[in-house]
Chains A and B, each alone.
Chain A
Amino acid sequence: MRGIWGGGIFLLCALTPLSAQRTQPVVGEIAVALSAERRGDLPQAAAGFLKILAERPGDGLALLGASRVLPTLDRREELMPLLGHALAIDTANTRLLGLAVRNWALLGRSDSARVYALRWAALFAGDEEPFREWALSALEIRDRVGAKAALELGRARIDHPAALAPELAQLRQAEGDLAGATDEWLRAVSNAPTYLPSAVLLLGVASPKDQSAILNRLKERGSPEAHRIRGLLRVRWGEPEEGMAELAAVVPDRLEGATVMIRLALDDLAERRDPEARRAAARGYELLAAKQIGAERLQSWMAAASAWADAGKESEARRLLGLISADPAAPADVAAHASHTLLGVLLAEGSVAAAESLYTTIEPRLTLDERDLDQRRLAFAWAMRADFDRADALLERDSSVAGFDMKGRVRALAGDLSLASEWLRLAGPYADERLAAVERVQLLALVSSIGRDTLPAFGAALRTLEAGDTARAITGFAALAHGLDSTGAAAVHLFAADLALARRDTATAVHLAEAASGDSAAASAPAARLLRARILAERGQVAAAISLLESVILDFPASAVVPEARRLRDQYRGAVPRGGGG
């Protein structure tokens, strides 16, 4: 709790000489006592400080030394008369008054703490510090009643509705008075907007069952500050779009305030990748951009465009990227990056010619990596449109592993299986990200086992699959398998069955897996059995699936699918996380 209540005053650090000592230097004695304190000989240090104070009750250094040492020795009571004597000499010394308030409160003597707090407050009308010091000290000994008394007395004595509001808010919240806490935070934020993050942080810990009460209270209050807190809490509590919409209506005029508010919401959304959160983040960045100028605005637009693209809103992303590309003030690298992103958006929309045209324009400004990546993306897009010559031309000079990989994929999309095998083999099984490498190896295995140099129907089915029409692709693969030899047919049937299983069409998967077994040649038997095990697991027959996998491992110990069989067995037995590790 002390951390929440942070911001207390540390009077002991302020070692300014008190007025009583200025004319009477006591360097020798105080030096001995301080030295004892530094050595850790606290009883001797205490004796030294007390000796000085017996002679000179107003000695500030000795008093501060005693206030450090005596409580550690569990002799805090002895400090109080010393403070009383010093305050009799120097009645308006706020440091001494602070020490008195703190130590009386730490002794649990609220009545005495109150006396000194009022005496201190009388010196500076409207100062919250005496009451805050009393409350914080009371809380250090877990005296919540004393703390509450201090804060409420302070609120009553200070003629300001937001006096001690953050402290009272936390006290109310600790007592379970969420409505009271909400009102206090509202007062605090209305008075000083810099309290907005604290209000959201601390109200944000409310349990789900209390959240609606807080939101309703803020709605009732209806002020811009109330809507700011409410919007941020809704973002935090799982209503990102609604929360951001509420914030959009109450963006502070000043850039600093607007930035703090919107950044708070964006920080809460930073870890979420779901479309709803990304849409909310995109709106947040746009709100921010509306308040900014120059490079900062461009960065916010870029972030918004990226968020819109992540959320599948290509048109919104295009709108912003167009703004950035057209901004004459945009630095070259920012504009190029925006154009590069825009190219991706155009390709996602299917506007390949427009994308290539944009690429031709921006090519000189792209980095080498961006240029290679864009060329590969364009090549793939042309291949998907069966314009293989244009695809090949774009890849002609690309001798990277990713380039070989794309050349192989383009040839596979064309049904040119011989060249596809060659390029995929050149790309190898290890480079790139693991998932891409695995996909490449699977494609290579498939085209190699078909046993034909060219098979346009395969390319067509693969394009259908890449276009996202899995059902029609499965039909295409099943149809072309009939014209192949048994090994090729089994491989294609297994591939199609795998696709069917991935879309949870188990009936088709079973049918295709049986066809693969029927075609079977010994080489595909373990793979077919593995697939049947996956189908069984998909149908909830986990024990049977495990049994089938064990037969794969035991009957075909030299098969390449054995590691996968062991892995699936581990997954079905709960030995490793399902789908993990990828």
Chain B
Amino acid sequence: MTTRRTFLRGATTAGLAALWPGVSHALRANRAGSLLVPMDDRQADHLKAYGLAFRALERGEAGEWLLNFQGGAFLLPASEAATRDASLSGVTIEAVSALDVAGMHAEIARSNAEAVPLEKVPKVAVYAPPNAAPWDDAVRMALNYAGIRYDRVWDPEVVGNRLREWDWLHLHHEDFTGQFSKFVINNAGAPWLQQMIELQQSTAKALGMPSVPALKRAVAEQIASFVERGGFLFAMCTATETLDLALASAGTDIAAAYADGTPMDPQATSRMQWDRALAFTGAVLEQSPSMAVFSDIDGHEVNGANRQPLGAFTLFNFSAKIDPVPSMLVQNHRNVIPDFYGLTTSFRRSRIKPGVTILADEPGAPWSKYIHGEHGEGTWTFYGGHDPEDPQHGIGDAPTDLSLHPHSPGYRLILNNVLFPAARKKELKT
């Protein structure tokens, strides 16, 4: 498994590049020619371009990610397979000569840009219940659309300590407090809810857990250990908030009676151990079992009394040479992106731990949208909201068809995370 530490150590070539770009880049680009995959407005299908780069890596065709250059372009070795793949996928590519590549590298060297080698194919796992269709999970939709292979894992694999088999783990709208997303009271009788509850309860029983909240807390602990050992975690929607709530609630009952037979501890807020959480601290828990809000971490509270309207969030501009990791995570052809709701839409800044990197926020609003941090040897990235192209997403809505949104800047952020573990980054200077 690649860990944050190992890819930070592999720094020599790229480090030299910053000092003497002509030599090292020319060495890397000394091929019969290269294919430039522009990621600015010339690109016909931004999302599939990530799949093109991923599959090139799978074929052993190591490339480069040109951060802050033409929208975060990719440079791949020219090959018949890549050309065919691009044609089938409808991805825009441009054949470039070694001289062109040297010119690009020179431009990168003198601007706020960086060329990051893409070398290793990350092993990707998505945490999803066995009966979940892919169309209600933005990451699975993005991976399927881009054509990036992944494995599915769920509670048995996680509790069975098998996460070490993967480099990258994604969580979507799982409720790690084990309260079935707090839909139980307001969606009573809905077949999908009954099915969800029965599946979760039978899984908890099969794994020897006394309740679903107990199972989900055990799963959350395993996921935190995965990151601590060097894994890459990406979470969206309510998985972000509830993962931290589950981690911080060790020894405290934060689940409603319908989940574990006993009501939430009325003193739960004061008993949370936030040092165990990844991203958040000091949150006040929502006591009502019928309100599909977990805490005051979420600034928007889509199902709460204080629901906030959607605005737009702005990606931060990082120094590609000094901060390649956050730079990779924000590569995009758009800087301002329309916001979208989720059971957890955003992260109130007052609840984010010091030291967490804010990747995107809504100017003037008290919340952030996209955050990143480290835990042990690994890293985590949290992205609020459910589906970037379905801003008002509701249960039972028609699935999003990404072929209608091939340029989605919101989905690009997801795919940046998928490719990020493939990169070998030079040592951070900050």
User: Distance (Å) between the CB of B222 and the closest chain A CB?
Assistant: 27
- Determine which of B87, B145, B258 lies in contact with A576 in the assembled complex, contact meaning CB atoms within 8 Å: B145
Which B-chain residue is minimally distant from A546 (CB atoms)?
B88
- Determine which of B197, B263, B396 lies in contact with A142 in the assembled complex, contact meaning CB atoms within 8 Å: B263
A2-B263 contact in complex given A566-B90, A576-B401, A577-B399, C-beta closer than 8 Å: yes
User: A570, B145: Cβ atoms under 8 Å?
Assistant: yes
A207-B194 contact in complex given A3-B185, A140-B266, A201-B188, C-beta closer than 8 Å: yes
Q: CB within 8 Å of B: which of A136-176?
A: 139-142, 174
A581-B403 contact in complex given A4-B185, A174-B257, A566-B88, C-beta closer than 8 Å: yes
Q: B198 within 8 Å of A by Cβ?
A: yes
Chain B binding site: helix, strand, loop or mixed by DSSP? loop
A1-B256 contact in complex given A205-B184, A576-B402, C-beta closer than 8 Å: yes
Q: B289 within 8 Å of A by Cβ?
A: yes
User: A1, B404: Cβ atoms under 8 Å?
Assistant: no
User: Distance (Å) between the CB of B379 and the closest chain A CB?
Assistant: 28
User: Distance (Å) between the CB of A254 and the closest chain B CB?
Assistant: 27
Interface centre among A202, A204, A574, A576 (most CB of B within 10 A): A576
Q: A580 within 8 Å of B by Cβ?
A: yes
Stretch at the interface among A313-321, A465-473, A490-498, A550-558: A550-558
Q: Mark B74-93, 1 if CB is under 8 A from A, else 0.
A: 00000000001001111000
Interchain CA distance A3-B191 in the complex, whole Å = 23
Complex contacts, A208 vs chain B, CB 8 Å: 191, 194
Interchain CA distance A576-B402 in the complex, whole Å = 7
User: Distance (Å) between the CB of A543 and the closest chain B CB?
Assistant: 15
- Determine which of B185, B191, B261, B398 lies in contact with A580 in the assembled complex, contact meaning CB atoms within 8 Å: B398
Q: B251 within 8 Å of A by Cβ?
A: no
Interchain CA distance A237-B191 in the complex, whole Å = 9
Q: A253 within 8 Å of B by Cβ?
A: no
User: A4, B289: Cβ atoms under 8 Å?
Assistant: yes
Interchain CA distance A493-B414 in the complex, whole Å = 44
Interchain CA distance A206-B198 in the complex, whole Å = 12
Q: A518 within 8 Å of B by Cβ?
A: no
Q: B135 within 8 Å of A by Cβ?
A: yes
User: Distance (Å) between the CB of B403 and the closest chain A CB?
Assistant: 5
Q: A114 within 8 Å of B by Cβ?
A: no
Q: B287 within 8 Å of A by Cβ?
A: yes
Complex contacts, A256 vs chain B, CB 8 Å: none
Q: Mark B252-271, 1 if CB is under 8 A from A, else 0.
A: 01001110011110100000
Q: A271 within 8 Å of B by Cβ?
A: yes
Interchain CA distance A567-B262 in the complex, whole Å = 50
User: A580, B290: Cβ atoms under 8 Å?
Assistant: no
Instruction: Please report A residues at the B interface, Cβ cutoff 8 Å.
Output: 1-4, 139-142, 174, 201-202, 204-208, 236-237, 271, 550, 553-554, 557, 562-563, 566-567, 569-570, 573-577, 580-581
Can you name 16 extra interface pairs (CB under 8 A) apart from A3-B185, A580-B135? A1-B256, A2-B263, A2-B287, A205-B185, A205-B188, A205-B189, A206-B189, A553-B88, A554-B88, A557-B87, A563-B90, A567-B403, A575-B145, A575-B403, A576-B145, A580-B400
What are 30 A-B contacts defined by CB distance under 8 Å?
A: A1-B257, A3-B289, A4-B185, A4-B290, A201-B185, A201-B188, A204-B188, A205-B185, A207-B198, A236-B189, A554-B87, A562-B90, A563-B90, A566-B90, A567-B403, A569-B88, A570-B403, A573-B147, A574-B144, A575-B144, A575-B147, A575-B402, A576-B145, A576-B401, A576-B403, A577-B135, A577-B399, A580-B398, A580-B401, A581-B401
Instruction: Please report B residues at the A interface, Cβ cutoff 8 Å.
Output: 84, 87-90, 134-135, 144-145, 147, 184-185, 188-189, 191, 194, 197-198, 253, 256-258, 261-264, 266, 287-291, 396, 398-404
Query: Which 8 A-B pairs rank lowest in CB-CB distance, beginning with the nearest?
Result: A581-B401, A1-B257, A205-B188, A142-B262, A204-B189, A580-B401, A3-B290, A577-B399
